[in-house]
Amino acid sequence: MGSSGKTLRRLLAGAALIGALAIGLHITRRRPAIHRVAADLRSPLLYLPLDLRTERSLRVVRSLSTRAATPVASGVEVSERTAEGTEGAPGPRVVIYERSDRQRPSGALLWIHGGGLVLGRPEQANTWCSALAADLDVLVVSVDYRLAPEHPFPDGLTDCYDALVWLNDRAAELGVDPGRIAVGGDSAGGGLSAALCQLVRDRGGPAVCFQLLNYPMLDDRTVLRTDHDGRGEFVWTPASNRFGWTSYLNQEPTPDDAPVHAAPARTADLAGLPPAWIGVGELDLFLDEDVDYATRLEAAGVPCELHVEPGMYHGADQLLLKNQRMEEYRNRMVAALRAVVG
């Protein structure tokens, strides 16, 4: 027993040493990429490997984030409803944020959370949604849409559409001006927001007055690229992007085609869409697709304000909530919304 115990301790010590060396090597390899990040946006969390590559890794991340909920702003009431489905079945759960003294009718924002189409829930954006409700005196509705790979396209988009129809149909009951309903989201939620705007345009309603797209996930063809020029090193990587799009499309992306409204960047005709605000970081994997989409919106006659934040990686505004520059970045979104719904 004594000999076996010594052997086990040696094996464990060896494994610990190998693990420490591997971590050290990983940190050394990450340093050049981190040096590209603006100094005020750096965080120790950027050294962590965060790739999503398999359903097993997805289950682990989901288990860690299942109960993640950010604080609610003071003076904001939160409630839940179930939206009616457009096909007779129950629709998605929606989380509603509003000030107790909200003046009615007010504008409204349908918010769609991020998570690479495979992660997330409305409560992860409690702070953001409740702050908008408080600052702009509007109704904010966050939709709990179905996630891939269990629910591939079009399930998630259908839920977002159902939530928008419900918000529009219940405008009088909810104290909302139906002419001042905007949609918005971050990352995958931004991509779903863009797709939703295309869908309602093609179906003839309901009306959307504005789209707020924060580093939106718009183009599955980014998965096919290898020339990222060092972008996508942090938070949402090329490997995670491949997993997210493959899960959502229920197949690997191809150069040729994707289902209509699945990848908003593939839509040729962007005329007639709502005015937009698009923000993205200089080091974000989605930089090229977002800049291209903004350029094409303008070319199609759709007013679009584009903001590219120097030295910013994907999700930095959420990772660094008290960072002055990220507060200024978020204030740009608030100002854009205030102009149309506030």
Q: Each residue of 6-39: pLDDT tens digit?
A: 554 564 554 444 433 334 444 556 778 888 888 9
Q: Is residue 263 pLDDT above 60, yes or no?
A: yes
**Which pLDDT tens digit goes with each residue over 283-311?**
999 999 999 999 999 999 999 999 999 99
Span 77-87, average pLDDT: 91
Are β-strands 90-99 and 139-144 bridged in parallel, bridged antiparallel, or unpaired? antiparallel
Cα 121 to Cα 123: distance, rounded to the nearest angstrom: 6
Q: Provide the pairing of β-strand 276-281 with 210-214.
A: parallel
* Per-residue pLDDT band at 143 (split at 50, 70, 90): very high
Residues with a known catalytic role: 187, 284, 314
Q: CB count, 10 Å around CB of 48?
A: 12
Q: What is the pLDDT of residues 233-260, one digit of tens each?
A: 999 999 999 999 999 999 999 999 999 9
Mean pLDDT over residues 173-177, rounded?
Answer: 98
- Cα–Cα distance, 90 to 229 (Å, whole number): 45
Q: State the Cα–Cα distance between residues 233 and 237, nearest whole angstrom.
A: 6
Q: What is the mean pLDDT of the chain?
A: 91
Residue in the block written with tokens 């707020």: 212
Tokens at 86, concatenated = 């457009």
Residue 313 is classified by DSSP as: P
Q: Distance between CA 192 and CA 151 in Å, rounded?
A: 14
Q: Give me the pLDDT at residue 46, please.
A: 87
| Burial zone of 287 (CB within 10 Å; 0-12 exposed, 13-18 middle, 19+ buried) | buried
Q: How many C-beta neighbours within 10 Å does residue 9 have? A: 10
The answer to whether the predicted template modeling score (pTM) of the entire model surpasses 0.85 is yes
CA dist., res. 130 & res. 42, Å (int):
27
Burial class (CB in 10 A: 0-12, 13-18, 19+), 269: exposed
The amino acid occupying position 13 is A
Lowest-pLDDT choice from 49-58, 181-190, 207-216: 49-58
**pLDDT classification of 69: cutoffs 50, 70, 90:** confident
Instruction: Give the type of residue at 87.
Output: E
Question: Is the predicted pLDDT of residue 54 greater than 50, yes or no?
Answer: yes
- Report pLDDT for 273: 98
DSSP 57-76: HHHHHHHHHTT--PPPPTTE
**Residue 115 is which amino acid?**
G
**Quick one: pLDDT at residue 9?**
57
- Nearest CA to 277 out of 245, 304, 302, 255 is that of 304
Residues 6 or more apart whose Cβ sits within 8 Å of residue 270: 198, 296, 297, 299, 300, 302
Look at residue 295 in the predicted model and tell me its pLDDT: 98
- Look at the alpha carbons of 118, 144, 265, 303 in this order and tell me if their dihedral is positive or negative: negative
Q: Give the bridge partners for 109, in sequence order.
A: 140, 182
Do the beta carbons of residue 195 and residue 248 sit within 8 Å?
A: no
∠ Cα 106 111 115 (to 5°): 170
Block residue for tokens 């994707």? 258
DSSP assignment letter at 294: H
Per-residue confidence (pLDDT) for residue 6, from 0 to 100 = 56
Instruction: For residue range 186-228, list pLDDT tens digits in order.
Output: 999 999 999 999 999 999 999 999 999 999 999 999 999 988 8
Q: What pLDDT was estimated at residue 105?
A: 98
Tell me which fold the domain 43-340 belongs to.
Answer: Rossmann fold (3.40.50)
> What pLDDT was estimated at residue 90?
85
Q: What is the pLDDT of residue 29?
A: 64
Model pLDDT, residue 15 = 45
Q: What is the mean pLDDT of residues 312-332?
A: 95
Rounded distance, CA 181 to CA 213, Å? 15
- Compute φ and ψ for 9, nearest 5 degrees: -65, -40
- Closest residue by Cα to residue 23 from 43, 42, 45, 47: 47
> Rg of the chain over CA atoms, in angstroms?
21
